[in-house]
Structure 1
Amino acid sequence: MTAAHGRRFEGKVAVVTGGSRGIGAAVATRLAAEGAAVVIGYRGNQQAADELVRSLVAEGGRAMALRADVADPEQTGTLIDRAVAEFGQLDVLASCAGIEHFDALQDITPADFDRVFAVNTRGQLFAVQHAAAHMGVGGRIVLTSSVSASRAVFHHTLYAASKAAVESMVLNLSAELGRRGITINAIAPGGTATDMAAEHGAGYQHPQLRDTMPMEQWLAVHGALGRLAQPEEVAAGYAFLAGDDAAYITGRTLPLDGGFF
């Protein structure tokens, strides 16, 4: 953790869902480094969540980890209520929890639909509902979409649809929340060097290229910067939208994709 970015979140309290690993962990680390008290929501990886908390506290931050499956709105509500009970307020929600899914049309089942939308879409909607109930003027909500919401990828329809719905939610909720002085935006990450990318990244390649073009070469061809993002680079976008410099930005989705084309 570093103070190089200043202390713009001093006195603020943030909840980060999906905060035990990947982009979520980088977001929690960035917000804590800039002074926020951070509540890390996690579903299953308690060890990673606890280790992150220990690291943030050792660096002088305030942090705690709470288990909550965002697919269950009641658990999300409990997470946010406990965060407010512990730290007295809620200023920032960074909704980073999500799951991937690849399947051909004929293989998608109703259970797949329910599972993906329960986490990626419904989970984020009710996280907003619970968080906004505790926020006042200056509240910041940042959800997570994906470049897949605006780019055709083979066998990615279900996941992409769940993320496109998030962008629509952000746009429409901005009018409602704006009356209360709360902004809501989303980040649409591209390929990022996380465990999820290591497991599913090849799925973003055209099927005819997967066996003939190494991933590094494919990235060089299809990205202006020619590489995966580091989680810390994506976290900078969440921190920007959660900060005062983005006070007049709402209802928007910011692509962080390294010029993916």
Structure 2
Amino acid sequence: MGKLDGKTALVTGSSRGIGRSIALALAAEGARVAVHYAGNEGAAKETVNTIEAAGGQAFAIRAELGLPGDADALWAAFDEHADGVDILVNNAGIAGPGLIHEVSEADYDKVFAINAKAPFFIIQKGLDRLRDGGRIINISSGVTKVAFPGMTSYAASKGAVEVLTLTLAQTLGSRQITVNAVSPGTIETDIHPWMADPAAKAHAAGFSVFNRVGQPDDVADVVAFLATDDARWVTGQNIDVSGGSGMGI
């Protein structure tokens, strides 16, 4: 018996990387997981197959975020497979590198459209589907806690997500819905090809008190905890999952 038996979860951006590990972790606890992807159908199907091979339940849904009507499209795809959701994980996001004078208005708009606007309206449009006692978990980033000038627009977009998390925890408490954020540090996924350089990886590992870079499962296990009834008394929080990165600064 898993702690999420009978629950339905939606994880955005879960065909690979951190999102994939979150989907696997929720499924391992018994949840039926909607694996969302924007374009890589093969990766999404592979994630679904992995969950099903382990005895879990999952289905893939496609919606490109950052476009007008993206939340409606996402929920329309979801509604073809399920009649309600218990756990919503807003994981999908893009990086926004650049010092402030290097960021174009178009790049800024794209980062905010996917990282901040999409979660806002996915939650808004999903409120009538989200069951009382449900869970909303937003993936933020450690760059909101330590000045990181090279990711100015990205950090600002994640700051917006954190304030949204706090506000919604207050708004939705009457429905017994918890709303929390999780802030990873440097995580080793395929979106960080620079980690193939041993020197660069060693430098990144030095940010953590454990002297290693994080793995997707390090984040997924915390998200899975927040999704269960074990975390029923935790809301409005931003959980740092960075291995103690930046503690010495």
Q: Shorter-normalised TM-score: what interval?
A: over 0.9
Structure 1 residue 144 and structure 2 residue 129: aligned? Answer: no
TM-score w.r.t. length of structure 1: 0.88
Cα separation, 2, equivalents of 1:72 and 1:86: 23
> 1:42-53, aligned counterparts within 5 Å?
42-53=37-48
Say if 2:7 is the partner of 1:16. Answer: no
Q: Is the 8 A contact 1:18 1:96 kept in 2?
A: yes
Q: Which residue of 1 aligns with 2:60?
A: 65
Root-mean-square deviation over aligned CA pairs: 1.9
Q: Is the 8 Å Cα contact of residues 28 and 38 (structure 1) preserved in structure 2?
A: yes
Q: Which residue of 1 aligns with 2:165?
A: 170
| 1:28 and 2:13 are equivalent in the alignment | no
Which residue of the partner structure matches residue 183 of structure 2?
Answer: 188
**Contact 1:15–1:80 (Cα < 8 Å) also in 2:** no
Which residue of the partner structure matches residue 243 of structure 1? 228
1:86-101 matched pairs, under 5 angstroms = 86-101=81-96
Gaps of 5+ in 2: none
> What is the letter of the counterpart of residue 254 of structure 1?
I
Secondary structure of the corresponding residue to residue 137 of structure 1: strand
Structure 2 length-normalised TM: 0.93
Q: Offset of 1:71 from its aligned partner?
A: 1.4
The amino acid of 2:200's aligned partner reads M
Query: May I ask how many residue pairs the two structures share in their alignment?
Result: 246
Stretches of 4+ aligned residues off by more than 3 angstroms = none
Matched, 1:222 2:207: yes
- Among candidates 116, 129, 137, match of residue 134 of structure 1: 129
Structure 1: how far apart are the matches of 2:84 and 2:46? Answer: 24
1:80 is aligned, of 69, 75, 85, to 75
Task: Give me the whole-angstrom Cα distance separating, in 1, the residues matched to 2:208 and 2:132.
Answer: 38
Q: Which secondary structure state, in structure 1, belongs to the residue aligned with residue 138 of structure 2?
A: strand
Structure 1: tracts of 5 or more residues without a match: 1-5, 203-209
Amino acid at match of 1:229: G
Deviation, structure 1 residue 100: 0.4
- Which residue of 2 is the match for residue 206 of structure 1? none
Q: In the alignment, does 2:244 pair up with 1:259?
A: yes
CA positional deviation for 1:114: 0.6
